[in-house]
Amino acid sequence: MCGEPLLNGEEIETHHIVPVAIGGTDDEYNLQHVHLACHKQVHSKTKTQSQKAGS
């Protein structure tokens, strides 16, 4: 996601490409390993966008 090497010493998280809440699964094709900071950034953008849509 960020373009940095995945194994650079940062903590790694598993991200659902299609969120489980909207029908995504735990199948391999729907999972992506990302840095913890990148994972947090993706989810903060998702919350911001959904808050704007609900306004």
Residue ranges with strand state E in 1-55 = 12-16, 31-35
Helix H or strand E encompassing 37: helix 36-54
Structural domain count of the chain = 1
Q: Per-residue pLDDT tens for 1-40?
A: 888 999 999 999 999 999 999 999 999 999 999 999 999 9
Is residue 18 assigned to a domain?
yes
Q: In this structure, are residues 40 and 11 in contact, taking their beta carbons and an 8 Å threshold?
A: no
Decide: pTM greater than 0.85. Answer: no
Q: Which domain holds residue 35?
A: 12-54
> Which residues, other chains included, contact 34 with Cβ-Cβ below 8 Å and sequence gap of 6+?
1, 6, 12, 13, 14, 15, 42
Contact 14, 30 (CB under 8 A): no
In a domain, 30, yes or no: yes
